[in-house]
Amino acid sequence: METLRKLTACGGGSGDESNIRKLIAEEVEPYADEVYTDALGSLIVHKRGMGKKIMLAAHMDEIGLMATFMDENGFIRFAPVGGVDAFSTLHQRVRFSNGTIGVVGYEESMTEMKELKLSRMYIDIGAPSREAAEKAVHIGDIAVFEGELRQAGNRVVSKALDNRIGVYVLIDVLRQISAIPYDLYFVFTSQEEVGLRGARGAAFDISPDFGIAVDVTDTGDTPECPKMAVKLGGGAAIKVKDGSVIASPIVRSALEKTARKNGIPYQSEILERGGTDAGAIHLTRGGVPTGAVSVPCRYIHTPCEMVDIDDVNAVIKLLLAFLQKEYL
């Protein structure tokens, strides 16, 4: 868990991934044949092989709040970076890249909470004036949620498990993998939360034969939530479709066959809204057969995202089994 703790503690809002990229590079360098950063800021780790070219993608960015204006009393107005929910953001601690800590508040003139909107909220960094605030934060700086990783039984709770848990999975696969029949590219993508941007550029450059995205997915196992056949503790979630992609039948079938053959628990994922890097990869050049494996996660895009350790291990085992035998 120490690697995951470091990954989640490190900030990296979309477009501001330099710190998390540096940390990941340090973790993967001993196991890679080549490590480089592309023009959009994605970190690409090449594990050379003689077979078909496979791109595995896990986005390293997280949602955040971008400073847009500072008033005369030092309060900072902000714009969302990615899918930020007003109610999940209210009264949370946030941290800018330089370490400045703030608290999110709201205009007290509101008479009902249904009026709560991000445009009526602000970040309080404790500055007594605009001049003091400007010394700590600049317009365009991005803050991310604070939320230390905690373990509750077999469950892990933290901010940024979307998608540092996917990053953790790929790092662990890279550490363990040995004989491989493929030419592998592990891509830690930038700017996924604002439109799958990093994956699009990386996939165009790599031009893979197949693609697999590793991300989180929602669950249908909390009280009175929307119905969805995914639950914590149910195993790896093999994607059927989401709002950005219908998974390649070839890749999906190969992943399911791998899971059954190796006794790895899995569940079928249909996410009605949202998407992953698979949505960008599969549309690259003339098209790339692409699938995805997800870690079930509760409370996505909050400072208290939750995953099950057994599900994480199932995703790792599935990818290791899949990549070390020629299923495609």
User: Each residue's pLDDT tens digit in the chain (328 positions)?
Assistant: 899 999 999 999 999 999 999 999 999 999 999 999 999 999 999 999 888 999 999 999 999 999 999 999 999 999 999 999 999 999 999 999 999 999 999 988 776 777 789 999 999 999 999 999 999 999 999 999 998 999 989 999 999 999 999 999 999 999 999 878 899 999 999 999 999 999 999 999 999 999 999 999 999 989 988 889 999 999 999 999 999 999 999 999 999 999 999 999 999 999 988 899 999 999 999 999 999 999 999 999 999 999 999 999 999 999 999 998 776 6
- Is residue 47 helix, strand or coil? strand
- Enumerate residues 6+ apart whose C-beta is below 8 A from 293: 212, 213, 214, 236, 237, 238, 239, 255, 315, 318, 319
Q: What residues pair up with 143 in beta bridges, in sequence order?
A: 65, 96
CA angle 212, 218, 223 (to 5 degrees): 160
| DSSP structural state of residue 241 | E
Q: Is 192 marked active-site? A: yes
So what's the pLDDT on residue 77? 98
Identity of the amino acid at 229:
A
Looking at 27, 192, 193, 269, which residue is catalytic?
A: 192
So what's the pLDDT on residue 101? 97
Question: What's the CA gap between 140 and 128, in Å, rounded?
Answer: 20
Tell me the CB-side half-sphere exposure of residue 103, using CA atoms within 13 A: 5
Strand order in the sheet with 305-308: 150-152, 155-158, 305-308
- Is residue 212 helix, strand or coil? strand
Question: What's the CA gap between 319 and 87, in Å, rounded?
Answer: 36
CB 58 within 8 A of CB 214: yes
- Is residue 297 helix, strand or coil? coil
H-only helix segments in the chain? 2-9, 18-28, 86-89, 130-136, 161-176, 197-206, 249-261, 278-281, 309-323
Q: What residues pair up with 155 in beta bridges, in sequence order?
A: 152, 308
- Enumerate residues 6+ apart whose C-beta is below 8 A from 69: 76, 77, 139
Q: Kindly report the backbone phi and psi dihedral angles of residue 212, in degrees, each rounded to the nearest multiple of 5, phi listed first.
A: -140, 125
So what's the pLDDT on residue 111? 67
